[in-house]
A and B are shown apart, each in its own frame.
Chain A
């Protein structure tokens, strides 16, 4: 049995707009029919741009939101019909600095939430101390949470998600806004969760993080899963090949449009630096020399642009992601 099973999940919201006298209701489709199967013990990454539907999916999985239609099951239990049973099996940590009673200590907070998760009163102190040790907060456990750094709060979020020893854990952008060292500590904690046999669903904007941590991935955009599988499956689906990096002078957006229209070019993006421009061209070509040739050909028609440097590299997950999202722009309203 899958740890998480989602079938044809849809969710729409109604939002009121306009003044009191001219109020209208607008319907937004956040999820448009999602199917996902996540096996026990796996670490699954859900990737997508802002507003793609990641958070809505996680909120439904964590029982905070009901689906408009479709089926969502955790270990076979329906999240809509039996949320209390599901809650006993899941833990979740959302990114950000909020979510605690900041004027009280980390230990006080965890003891409070341990009671909400119905841990026997006698076991609570021991479990809380174990988790504070696990996330390296033992020395600061009696300090007010308001004195914690963002990284420490994030570790405390993870500790809370583990209080009742859940088998499925949801981590929504756990390293968002953290410095590199703090983010590395969080990733190490996520590794530990996987080693402990937990099923983890992780949402993130950081592709290297998803690549490092996740067994399987799905890319979501405009409420639809564009593709799912391993990083290699995603690359194959996106037909991502060699990526060319061009340093130029005099380039503009129209050059990117021209490059994108070339055969075998999946996507081209432009970034302005202080004294030059940086163009990234993602191709579907496997041979570097072919990629080199096609990019140079594309530049021939742009006489006003001078090429300073051209380098080629193998595609990373980020290139796959960008290709998928730019190809799969299927945001037409239903």
Chain B
């Protein structure tokens, strides 16, 4: 791929992502939920802090709670992406365009992921404003970078979720029971070291685990590059696997003529 094609692809991705963010942000009730829900996540983090005798770092807990919100947004957003397109009748126009289906869906899952990132930042903001969480301003750029990479990596992970949920008639019902296990596995609710031994490797293949590590490390001024690089690397793997899966699903739908995608 030459430089010009890569640049054009990047511009196209950003334009499409912006389009879907605008589309998602036009629903007042969704925006209100995205503003209000982080308050509850911030409260959970604070009460855990108090219940634990104020031993744990409150900023760490607040980031963990924010990541929980981010994860929920991604599961519901990416998991129901195909259903939403089908419902509004745009799916067949997306499938019938000359672009690869995966490159059309990635901006949508990334838009959902951006909403998730906003949820995380708002949780932290509520923590700072209401619960007196201390964040060193010098660490904000590192945290922002880590949050950005985590957002993109989770957008890629969302692509795989979207492909897996195509077969589900009620994708949102499947999303709910998957949220809590992944909260635990990715070490955002409890430390990975608290998991039973056989489950620990699972957390290493989730971009959220690495993203959480990177954001937390950046917040305390610790080295975060390894976590960040691992988050990006797992994101790339999910991008490739998710692209393959969603293109297979699209092809299968054309072949079988099944209602799942229509």
Contact = CB atoms under 8 A, between A and B. Distances in A.
Same complex for A and B? Answer: yes
Interface string B4-18: 000010011001100
A156 to B, nearest CB: 12
Interface string A1-38: 00000000001011000000000000000000000000
B98 A113 contact: no
Contacts of B90: 98-101
B88 A100 contact: yes
B23 A103 contact: yes
Contact of A88 (B19, B27, B93, B98): B98
Given A98-B89, A102-B88, A116-B104, A62 B19 contact: no
B257 A13 contact: yes
Size class of B's contact patch?
A: 20 to 34
Interface residues of A, number: 34
B97 to A, nearest CB: 4
A104 interface: yes
A154 to B, nearest CB: 13
B98 A101 contact: no
Interface in A95-112: 96-104, 108, 111-112
B243 to A, nearest CB: 15
B193 to A, nearest CB: 42
Contact of A113 (B23, B97, B257): B97
A84 interface: yes
Nearest to B252: A66
A118 B19 CA distance: 16
Contact of B19 (A108, A117, A160): A108
A307 interface: no
A112 B88 CA distance: 15
A286 interface: no
A181 interface: no
Given A103-B23, A121-B8, A11 B257 contact: yes
A89 to B, nearest CB: 10
B22 A113 contact: no
A104 B255 contact: no
Q: Which of B15, B16, B23, B96 has the most CB of A within 10 A?
A: B96
A101 B255 contact: no
Contacts of A87: 96-98
Contacts of B27: 103
Interface in A110-127: 111-113, 115-118, 121
Nearest to A120: B8
Contacts of B98: 84, 87-88, 116-118
Given A66-B254, A112-B19, 5 more contacts: A64-B92, A65-B257, A66-B257, A92-B96, A98-B89
The 9 residue pairs across chains A and B that have the minimum distance between CB atoms = A98-B89, A103-B26, A116-B97, A99-B89, A87-B98, A66-B254, A101-B23, A112-B19, A66-B255
Interface of B: 8, 11-12, 15-16, 19, 22-23, 26-27, 88-90, 92-99, 104, 254-257
